[in-house]
Chains A and B, each alone.
Chain A
Amino acid sequence: MKISTSMSDGRLRLYLSGELDHHAAKDGIQIIRREIDRNLPRDCVMDLRELTFMDSSGIAVLLGTHKQMREIGGRFWAVNVQKQPMKVLNASGIYRIVEIVEGEEIGI
């Protein structure tokens, strides 16, 4: 998995691409934590359009990011979630905690 980031107007964007499994999550969690610590964004958007595979390790990544953003008083949501990752997220019930937008991002 690769993570690229961009920061503008207080919004941190995280672009995840490739496959997010336990192997990828170990580094991914550290990278995301560092980016949020360094930028202290008002909100954080995780863009998953290039993420082709996710297992339950991804749920922990999303929950961890959500928690860290809440700690600094910011918002977090995920956008452009593809079919396979969406099925995993749906099975987990994580949408009760983290805002997930299946298609293109809307609003704010």
Chain B
Amino acid sequence: MKEDNYIKLEFPSKSNNEGFARAVIACFAAQLDPTLEELNDIKTAVSEAVTNCIVHAYPDTLGKISLRARIFSDNAIEITIRDWGMGIDDIERAREPMFTTGGQERSGMGFTIMESFMDKLRVRSTVGKGTTVTLRRTISVRA
């Protein structure tokens, strides 16, 4: 499928960038003429992925987060959130609902929400090297 447009963005793992990342992705995805619900789904999934970087990839340090998004000619958006932090040793377990290493302040529902709000979720991780999360969603074409 042909790539129509893209953005690349980089920011430090400060929690006040969570809202910034949501706003950026909402602006970019707006080109696909999504419904409010579709836009909210994308914002929610991105919020989860960026929060994971802040909480889990860089628990005690500030690190770099990269956000890339591409729009394709079939009205799909693909979003890649990458960090160079701790990595995940058991991805399958991390994706299980209610599993968290984040303590009482986290719910363990991040990957579950990404999975149910997007069409596709791919997680690649190497311990000590970092994690790449790819989210994909096709926006319905409205008459």
**Is the CB–CB distance between A92 and B109 below 8 Å?**
yes
> A8 to chain B: closest CB distance in Å?
29
Question: Which residues of chain B are within 8 angstroms of A26 by Cβ–Cβ distance?
Answer: 15, 105
Question: Which residues of chain A are within 8 angstroms of B44 by Cβ–Cβ distance?
Answer: 53, 55, 84, 87-88
Asked if A42 is an interface residue, CB under 8 A from chain B, the answer is no
Asked if A56 is an interface residue, CB under 8 A from chain B, the answer is yes
**Is the CB–CB distance between B54 and A22 below 8 Å?**
yes
Question: Which residues of chain A are within 8 angstroms of B85 by Cβ–Cβ distance?
Answer: none
> B110 to chain A: closest CB distance in Å?
5
**Is the CB–CB distance between B16 and A23 below 8 Å?**
yes
**Is the CB–CB distance between B107 and A23 below 8 Å?**
no
**Is the CB–CB distance between A57 and B51 below 8 Å?**
yes
For the residues of B in contact with A, the DSSP-based class is helix
Interface residues on A, range: 20 to 34
Asked if B93 is an interface residue, CB under 8 A from chain A, the answer is no
Q: Which of A46-70 contact B (CB under 8 A)?
A: 53, 55-57, 59-60, 63-64
Given A21-B18, A84-B40, A91-B116: A56 in contact with B109 (beta carbons within 8 A)? yes
Question: Which residues of chain A are within 8 angstroms of B16 by Cβ–Cβ distance?
Answer: 23
Which residues of A approach B to under 8 Å, CB–CB? Answer: 19, 21-23, 25-26, 29, 53, 55-57, 59-60, 63-64, 83-84, 87-88, 91-93
Which residues of B approach A to under 8 Å, CB–CB? Answer: 15-16, 18-19, 22, 37, 40-41, 43-44, 47-48, 51, 54-55, 97, 104-110, 112-113, 116-117
9 contacts between A and B (CB under 8 A): A21-B51, A22-B18, A29-B105, A53-B22, A60-B105, A84-B44, A88-B44, A91-B112, A92-B112
